[in-house]
Amino acid sequence: MSLKDFHIVFILSSILLLFGFSYWGWQNFTHHPIAAYLWTAILSGISASALIAYEILFIKKVNA
C-alpha cells in the first residue's frame, strides 16, 4: 500500500469516526439535553464535512 493510499484510507476512517461521534453526541443530547452533547454533535459533523472536502481536494491533486 502506497503512502497515498494509506492517506486516503486514514482520512476515510477519520470521517467515519467523526460521523459516529456526531451521532453519539446527538443521541445523548436527545436523551439528556446538555449543551456539551449538542456542541459535540455539531463540531464533529462540521469536522467530518471539512475532512470530506479535504479528501476530495487531495484526490484531485494526486490524480492531476
**Domain chopping of the chain, boundaries:** 3-63
Q: What is the pTM for the complete model shown?
A: 0.89
Which ranges constitute the DSSP H helices of the chain? 3-31, 35-63
Q: What is the pLDDT of residue 39?
A: 97
pLDDT by 10s per residue, the chain, length 64: 899 999 999 999 999 999 999 999 999 999 999 999 999 999 999 999 999 999 999 999 998 7
Q: What is the pLDDT of residue 15?
A: 98
Residue pair 48/22 in contact by the 8 Å Cβ criterion: yes
Q: What is the pLDDT of residue 36?
A: 96
Q: What is the pLDDT of residue 12?
A: 97
Residue 49 to residue 47: CA distance in whole angstroms: 5
Cell digits of residue 63: 490524480
